[in-house]
């Protein structure tokens, strides 16, 4: 059986039974779904949440699933600290998708067309207080490049405008927007499909940074460990995942813009918005008892889904330039940072690695910290320690003015004026070199207890202090 959302949830609940909770009383999609994720996060808990009774919808909604690194390590079959390396290696070996017949495509079980199409019947959440309306936050939109014929995929936010229309918000140089503009230039509608609910390898494959237009389906195959099964769309020449939960088919209109936003974005502020193209939905196909997949916007899930593919792509790019790279971590809680550890052989390694990382993700990365390979980049205490002991700002800090932007989703990429208006600006990036000098320079050694002796410590021999010992050593009698 091909991998899909359900096979993943089955594996997840088998390995981590507490990682999925069901809410079966009625919840309002307006704040009711994100309220659970938010309340649990206050207690440091991040279980996936399956809402089986969403007001106004017959379908269930799943959210908050991709919030923990362990849940990603699970499908990659590795330890958490190896996620960027394994991810990067898999992206290097794409697996081409295969096409199956419509009868074999579970996503075609239910078909909704014509007047029956009503996006209001899907359990689409309103996520944050000032959001302009319900948003698809986990919809993977696919579109075919009219020049190369390649199918490109990515997640783009879609505000629901009415029963059949929604917006699409493209950032800067993302392929989705570049392709849309080619159709617009010819005055033609752009056929698209939006994929909702699939294996996390598919979701993350679709948001991986891949050079050139297209390639996301093959990246998804690599991350899933098998070819992605595709089926012909009903209303266009697109190929769509055969085992998604829901597929929305439609077109981006060339000449009809509407205002969208605000929307709570991944940096935790309301960002983006304005006039965006309209998508008209012309067909919905879904599985029986389909599960609508949501990503809790502007929260941990949004950050993890965006951050992990970044780590993977950066690992892959930096490794090509500096083979002594050890590990990479783009922390989900500050996705503008990147921690890189390497075995430094020459001084230039640091800048080579840092610039390769910056070039992988020009839009958002702005603080690169390079450390030696004795530092665990998943442990921020160690990174901070390396900065405190091996970094001298005057010598080891490089500021790159006007690197990010202009505009986009970083709050620093805007100039805020007293009249309430904003204008886009560029903001700077830094490279923090917290490594020891390269050989032959000898830097003080790190103080450690010999590892073989640490291994000999007999923890079973530990016991509590006795009353007699307390009298003997802990009192002054
Ligand atoms: C949860 C989530 C939401 C995203 N929302 C948007 C969005 O609204 N607009 C956008 O351009 N990119 C968005 N992205 C980023 C793109 O999906 C991602 O960078 C992708 O690689 C772009 O692919 P492309 O260059 O092929 O278009 C989002 C990513 C994630 C993980
Ligand atoms: Mn692309």
**224-253: pLDDT as tens digits:** 999 999 999 999 999 999 999 999 999 999
Judge if the beta carbon of residue 267 lies within 6 A of ligand 1. Answer: no
Residues 347 and 207 grouped into a single domain: no
406 upstream amide cis, omega within 30 of 0: yes
The rounded distance, in Å, linking the Cα atoms of 160 and 290 is 19
Predicted pLDDT of residue 477: 67
Residues 269 and 165 grouped into a single domain: yes
- Asked whether residue 404 is assigned to any structural domain, the reply reads yes
Ligand closest to Cα of 207 equals 1
- Asked whether residue 308 is assigned to any structural domain, the reply reads no
Judge if the beta carbon of residue 170 lies within 6 A of ligand 1. Answer: yes
Q: Which residues contact 112 (CB under 8 A, 6 or more apart)?
A: 283, 284, 285, 286
- Asked whether residue 474 is assigned to any structural domain, the reply reads no
Predicted pLDDT of residue 386: 98
Q: Are 431 and 368 in contact (CB under 8 A)?
A: yes
Residues 191 and 108 grouped into a single domain: yes
The CA 477 to ligand 1 mean position distance, Å, reads: 70
Q: Among 242, 277, 293, where does a domain finish? A: 293
The rounded distance, in Å, linking the Cα atoms of 251 and 248 is 10
Judge if the beta carbon of residue 83 lies within 6 A of ligand 1. Answer: no
Predicted pLDDT of residue 96: 98
The CA 77 to ligand 2 mean position distance, Å, reads: 26
Residues 243 and 135 grouped into a single domain: yes
Residues 288 and 182 grouped into a single domain: yes
For the four alpha carbons of 178, 184, 186 and 188, in that order, the dihedral sign comes to positive
Count other C-beta atoms under 10 Å from residue 130's C-beta. Answer: 9
The rounded distance, in Å, linking the Cα atoms of 72 and 78 is 9
C-alpha dihedral, 178 to 181 to 185 to 186, nearest 10°: 90
Which string of DSSP letters, residue by residue, matches 93-110?
A: S----EE--GGG-GGGSE
pTM of the model: 0.93
Judge if the beta carbon of residue 261 lies within 6 A of ligand 1. Answer: no
- Asked whether residue 174 is assigned to any structural domain, the reply reads yes
Residues 128 and 191 grouped into a single domain: yes
Residues 100 and 217 grouped into a single domain: yes
Residues 247 and 366 grouped into a single domain: no
Residues 267 and 226 grouped into a single domain: yes
440 upstream amide cis, omega within 30 of 0: yes
Predicted pLDDT of residue 476: 79
Task: Look up the domain containing 417 and give its range.
Answer: 322-451
Q: Are 107 and 228 in contact (CB under 8 A)?
A: no
Residues 103 and 228 grouped into a single domain: yes
- Asked whether residue 301 is assigned to any structural domain, the reply reads no
Q: How many domains does the chain have?
A: 2
Residues 248 and 383 grouped into a single domain: no
The rounded distance, in Å, linking the Cα atoms of 167 and 131 is 14
Judge if the beta carbon of residue 158 lies within 6 A of ligand 1. Answer: no
Whole-number mean pLDDT of the chain? 96
Residues of the chain with pLDDT under 50: none
- Asked whether residue 371 is assigned to any structural domain, the reply reads yes
The CA 143 to ligand 2 mean position distance, Å, reads: 10
- Asked whether residue 29 is assigned to any structural domain, the reply reads no
Q: CATH number for the domain including 344?
A: 3.40.1670.10
Which residue in 322, 397, 409 sits closest to 365, CA to CA? 409
Kindly report, residue by residue over 332-370, the tens digit of the pLDDT: 989 999 999 999 999 999 999 999 999 988 888 999 999
Judge if the beta carbon of residue 176 lies within 6 A of ligand 1. Answer: yes
- Asked whether residue 315 is assigned to any structural domain, the reply reads no
Q: Are 316 and 94 in contact (CB under 8 A)?
A: no
User: Are β-strands 367-372 and 337-342 bridged in parallel, bridged antiparallel, or unpaired?
Assistant: parallel
Judge if the beta carbon of residue 174 lies within 6 A of ligand 1. Answer: yes
The rounded distance, in Å, linking the Cα atoms of 431 and 357 is 10
For residue 205, is it left (φ>0), alpha (ψ between -120 and 50) or beta? Answer: alpha
Q: CATH number for the domain including 283?
A: 2.30.110.10
The CA 209 to ligand 1 mean position distance, Å, reads: 10
Which residue in 196, 218, 257 sits closest to 4, CA to CA? 196
Q: SS3 for 208?
A: coil
Task: Give the start-end residues of each E strand in 34-172.
Answer: 48-51, 60-63, 98-99, 110-113, 135-136, 140-144, 151-155, 158-159, 165-167
Residues 260 and 344 grouped into a single domain: no
């Amino acid at each position: 059986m091909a991998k899909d959302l359900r096979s993943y949830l089955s594996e997840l609940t088998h390995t981590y039974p507490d990682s999925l909770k069901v809410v079966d009383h009625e919840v309002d999609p307006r704040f009711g779904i994100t309220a659970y994720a938010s309340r649990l996060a206050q207690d440091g808990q991040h279980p996936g949440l399956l809402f089986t009774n969403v007001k106004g919808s017959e379908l269930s909604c799943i959210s908050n699933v991709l919030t923990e690194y362990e849940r990603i390590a699970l499908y990659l079959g590795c330890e958490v600290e190896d996620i960027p390396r394994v991810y990067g290696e898999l992206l290097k070996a794409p697996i081409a998708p295969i096409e199956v017949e419509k009868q074999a495509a579970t996503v075609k079980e239910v078909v909704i067309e014509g007047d029956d199409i009503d996006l209001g019947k899907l359990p689409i959440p309103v996520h944050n207080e000032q959001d302009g309306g319900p948003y698809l936050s986990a919809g993977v939109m696919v579109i075919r490049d009219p020049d190369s014929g390649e199918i490109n995929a990515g997640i783009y936010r879609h505000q629901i405008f009415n029963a059949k229309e929604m917006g699409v918000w493209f950032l800067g140089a993302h392929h989705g927007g570049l392709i849309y503009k080619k159709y617009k230039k010819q005055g033609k509608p752009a056929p698209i499909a939006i994929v909702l609910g699939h294996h996390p390898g598919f979701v993350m494959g679709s948001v991986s940074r891949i050079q050139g237009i297209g390639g996301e389906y093959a990246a998804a195959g690599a991350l899933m460990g098998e070819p992605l099964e595709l089926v012909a769309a009903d209303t266009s020449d697109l190929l769509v995942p055969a085992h998604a939960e829901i597929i929305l088919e439609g077109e981006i209109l060339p000449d009809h813009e509407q205002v969208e936003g605000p929307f709570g974005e991944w940096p935790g502020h309301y960002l983006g918005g304005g006039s965006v193209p309209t998508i008209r939905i012309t067909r919905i196909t879904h599985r029986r008892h389909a599960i609508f997949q949501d990503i809790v916007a502007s929260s941990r899930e949004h950050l993890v889904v965006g951050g992990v593919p970044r780590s993977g792509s950066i690992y892959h790019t930096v490794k090509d330039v500096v083979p002594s790279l050890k590990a990479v971590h783009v922390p989900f809680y500050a996705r503008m940072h990147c921690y890189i550890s390497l075995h430094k052989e020459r001084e230039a390694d640091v800048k080579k690695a840092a610039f390769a990382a910056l070039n992988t993700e020009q839009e958002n990365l702005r603080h690169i910290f390079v450390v030696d390979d004795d530092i665990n980049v998943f442990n921020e205490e160690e990174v901070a320690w390396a900065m405190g002991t091996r970094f001298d700002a005057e010598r080891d800090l490089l500021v790159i003015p006007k690197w990010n932007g202009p505009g986009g989703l970083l709050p620093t990429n805007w100039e805020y004026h007293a009249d309430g208006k904003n204008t886009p600006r560029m903001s700077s990036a830094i490279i923090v070199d917290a490594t020891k000098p390269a050989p032959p320079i000898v830097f003080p050694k790190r103080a450690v207890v010999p590892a073989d002796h640490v291994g000999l410590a007999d923890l079973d021999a530990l016991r509590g202090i006795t009353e007699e010992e307390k009298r003997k050593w802990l009192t002054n009698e």
